Homo-oligomer: A and B are copies of this chain.
Amino acid sequence: MAISLGIVEDHSEFRQSLIYLVSSFSDYSVKWSFGSVEEALDNFSDIDVLLLDISLPKMAGNDSIPLFKNLCPDLKVIMLTIQEDPNSILKAIQNGADGYILKKTHPQKILEAIQQVRDGGAPITPLVARQVFSFLKTAPGKGINEAKLTSREIEILTLITQGFSTEIIAEKLFISIQTVRNHIKNIYDKLQVHSKAQAVAKALNEKLV
Within A124-155, which residues are at the interface with B (CB < 8 Å)?
124-127, 129-130, 132-133, 135-137, 139-142, 144
Chain B residue numbers with a CB within 8 Å of A94 are 136-137, 139, 141
Q: Is the CB of A198 closer than 8 A to any CB of chain B? A: yes
Q: Is the CB of A45 closer than 8 A to any CB of chain B? A: no
Q: Is the CB of A121 closer than 8 A to any CB of chain B? A: yes
Copies, count: 2
Chain B residue numbers with a CB within 8 Å of A120 are 127, 130
Chain B residue numbers with a CB within 8 Å of A202 are 163
B197 contacts A199, C-beta separation under 8 Å? yes
The smallest beta-carbon distance between A90 and chain B, in angstroms, is 6
Chain B residue numbers with a CB within 8 Å of A83 are none
Q: In the complex, which range does the number of interface residues on chain A fall in?
A: 35 or more
Q: Is the CB of A208 closer than 8 A to any CB of chain B? A: no
A90 contacts B141, C-beta separation under 8 Å? yes
Chain B residue numbers with a CB within 8 Å of A97 are 133
Q: Which residue of B lies closest to A91 (CB)?
A: B141
CA distance A209 to B42 in the complex (A): 41
Chain B residue numbers with a CB within 8 Å of A30 are none
The smallest beta-carbon distance between A119 and chain B, in angstroms, is 7
CA distance A119 to B127 in the complex (A): 9
The smallest beta-carbon distance between A203 and chain B, in angstroms, is 9
Q: Is the CB of A116 closer than 8 A to any CB of chain B? A: yes
Q: Is the CB of A156 closer than 8 A to any CB of chain B? A: no
